[in-house]
Amino acid sequence: MKRSSTKFKNSRSLVLSAPPQGPLAISSGWRRLLVGLLCLGATIVAAFALLSVTAEPPSESMKEVWVPAGEFTMVDDEFDDAKPLHKVYVDGFWMDETEVTNEQFAEFVRQTEYVTLAEKPFAGGPPAAGVFDGSKCPRGEACRDCRNWWDYRAGACWQHPEGPGSDLRGREKHPVVHIAWEDATAYAHWAGKRLPTEAEWERAARGGLEGKLYYWGDELCPDGKWMANIWQGAFPTDNRADDGFTGTAPVKSFSPNAYGLYDMAGNVWEWCADWYRPDYYTISPKNDPQGPESSLDPDGRDEPKRVQRGGSFLCSDKYCNRYRAGARGQGEPKTGLSHTGFRCVRSAP
């Protein structure tokens, strides 16, 4: 390598030191002037090119909220998997103020070139994801089979929430969806954070209000005001959108809880770190429970499940009211749907 480099330097030196020859030869002074003019011209062209480019503003950084250490009661008597009542203590931690938004996830993808599970082929088929579509259910009749309102749609992913033809324009501040548990943990690692444990999530959601049904109190709609983005009407065919939204809502569309956290109920389901077992509360330790070592599938399909919390815009008081502060949810960790997102936490140093 040294030899070729030396040879290059020597040959370049010989060329530059050779005297001009012939009638078209240019003196060294004129040559320097010509080079200077060319450089000036290139600079002007580059400047005009930069002026014609519209710079994209950086995505809004995530604000964190402090959740203080303390003991609280985990329970919701309406659901078998949220019993029995038990006291839990968790250390203090920082939690993302909102669910991770489309623009924040886009920045993660831009920097890492990460590809979500929904964007990868699966079982020999094309990339696809589950999109909510209640149009196949007959109106005015009970529709309890979830296969009637989920469409496994090719091309659906976080960038195209309803599939090909849909995009994120106007939804930059909406929570990112079609996020599998693996995708959420990858983002959290990149951000220097982690997913919350189920106990941490509930501690945060309750906002210090012990024994309340919702993070704002015991009334679902106090003084006629909707406090979360959920379903109003006959699910899954008629959504009156009394809260102002038929799908996801921009984060911070509703009032925060007492800790300053937004959308701890409704909008999108949020992944937790824990494996899911419907009987875990019978054996849960008191101090900083981390969840069971393995999962137990309540549906009997032998599919491992991870805990989800908070409910989504598809939950209603007539069908799924797991937006309550103590209610639990669960999902197959390799599956992200059009109502599944996440937020992160960070341990205190």
What CATH number has the domain spanning 60-349? 3.90.1580.10
Average pLDDT over residues 243-264: 97
Average pLDDT over residues 92-113: 98
pLDDT of residue 349: 86
pLDDT of residue 44: 39
Average pLDDT over residues 260-270: 98
pLDDT band of 47, cuts 50, 70, 90: very low
pLDDT of residue 134: 85
Taking 50 as the threshold, does the pLDDT of residue 36 lie above it?
A: no
Q: How far apart are CA 245 and CA 239, in angstroms?
A: 9
- 338 burial class (0-12, 13-18, 19+ CB within 10 angstroms)? buried
- Average pLDDT score, the chain: 85
Contact 161, 338 (CB under 8 A): yes
Taking 60 as the threshold, does the pLDDT of residue 17 lie above it?
A: no
Packed helices 102-112 and 181-190: angle between N→C axes, nearest 10 degrees = 70
Tallying the residues shown for the chain, one arrives at 349
Q: Using one digit for the tens of pLDDT, what is the confidence trace for 131-159?
A: 999 887 876 666 667 777 899 999 999 99
Number of alpha carbons in the 13 Å side-chain half-sphere of residue 123: 3
Comparing 145-149, 183-187, 226-230, the range with the smallest average pLDDT is: 145-149
Taking 90 as the threshold, does the pLDDT of residue 66 lie above it?
A: yes
pTM of the model: 0.82
- The per-type count for the chain, helices as H runs and strands as E runs, is 5, 11
pLDDT band of 25, cuts 50, 70, 90: very low
Q: How far apart are CA 77 and CA 212, in angstroms?
A: 12
